[in-house]
Chains A and B, each alone.
Chain A
Amino acid sequence: MNHPHDVVELRIPRKPEYVGVARLAVSGIASRMDFSYDEVEDIKLAVGEACTSVIHETAPEHVALPIVVRCESAPDEIRIDVVNIRPAPRKTPPREAADAPISQLLMEVLMDEVEVRENEDGSAAVRMVKRVSRDEA
């Protein structure tokens, strides 16, 4: 499959049991591109980490808001945005801060680009990019 710039958007409840759904959906898209098995597994783990981070950062009053996972497949890369829709950023530390360094490390090592964006409406997004390895060609 090489449909340039196809976009798939998924909205999942902000609950741990749906993180696996996001992983499966994104790995399904990545596996139809020219990624190796290991690269698909890298993407799958990174997406799960991004969704998990959103859940851990969620204030109780925001649990009903969805997580948006947006995938754009280009011929030689996949761009994934994991969007934390929220009215305003939290002022208190995340509850599961202990896992955060590992989570962030995994995303940064497994993906080619990771960027955190804070939007004016208070939402935040992690943009991750994984490029098809030239070695695989």
Chain B
Amino acid sequence: MDFVVTTKDATIGDNRRAVIVQVVGEVDVYTAPRLKDKLLQVERDGVHHIVVDLTEVGFIDSVGLGVLIGALRRARAGGGTLVLCGPNPRIRRILDITGLSSAFTVSQDTDEGLKVLEREVPSDAGAVGQGGRQ
């Protein structure tokens, strides 16, 4: 299966910029660098409210998880956060095993993911621009 990462601009409350990163395929040691590059590009564009759509991801390994952890840290440092959406039961299990289900907020779909961003990062926190959440 081809590995594809695409982005879609979105906005959340107070007209703040957000991005939905849709991933299709297997995220592993071979493909994860492409996901990392895309996430870094989003951050360079100044967007720190990110939903990563995993609905079409069938597999993820430790390298892929590492990329998501790094992006979550950077998003929080930038005053935003990163939400995962639509992981299959296997990926949910991997998140549980690694303890990462307590680090990431997981939503059912991208609409819910955007709502989670609004809820988790109030607009005044976003305006601070750094320091992030705990």
A contact residues vs B (CB 8 Å cutoff)? 16-17, 19-20, 38, 41, 44-45, 48-49, 52, 55, 96, 98-99, 102-103, 105-106, 109-110
Contact = CB atoms under 8 A, between A and B. Distances in A.
A2 to B, nearest CB: 26
A99 B62 contact: yes
Contact of B66 (A16, A99, A109): A99
B54 to A, nearest CB: 15
Interface of B: 26, 28-30, 59, 61-63, 65-66, 90, 94, 97-98
27 contacts: A16-B28, A16-B30, A17-B30, A19-B28, A19-B30, A20-B26, A20-B30, A38-B90, A44-B59, A45-B59, A45-B61, A45-B94, A48-B28, A48-B61, A52-B62, A55-B29, A96-B63, A96-B66, A98-B66, A99-B63, A99-B65, A102-B98, A103-B61, A106-B61, A106-B97, A106-B98, A110-B97
B30 A109 contact: no
A22 B18 CA distance: 38
B27 to A, nearest CB: 11
A132 B22 CA distance: 36
Given A20-B28, A103-B61, 17 more contacts: A16-B28, A17-B30, A19-B28, A19-B29, A20-B26, A48-B28, A48-B29, A49-B62, A52-B29, A52-B61, A52-B63, A99-B66, A102-B98, A106-B62, A106-B94, A106-B97, A106-B98
Main secondary structure on A side of the interface with B: helix
Contacts of A106: 61-62, 94, 97-98
A52 B65 CA distance: 13
Contacts of B98: 102, 105-106
A16 B90 contact: no
Nearest to B100: A102
A49 B61 contact: yes
Lowest 5 A-B CB distances belong to which pairs?
A: A16-B30, A102-B62, A103-B62, A16-B29, A52-B29
Nearest to A37: B90
A17 B66 CA distance: 18
B29 A109 contact: no
Nearest to B66: A99
A19 B61 CA distance: 11
A49 B59 CA distance: 12
Contacts of A49: 61-62
Nearest to A18: B30
Contacts of B65: 99, 102
Contacts of B61: 45, 48-49, 52, 103, 106
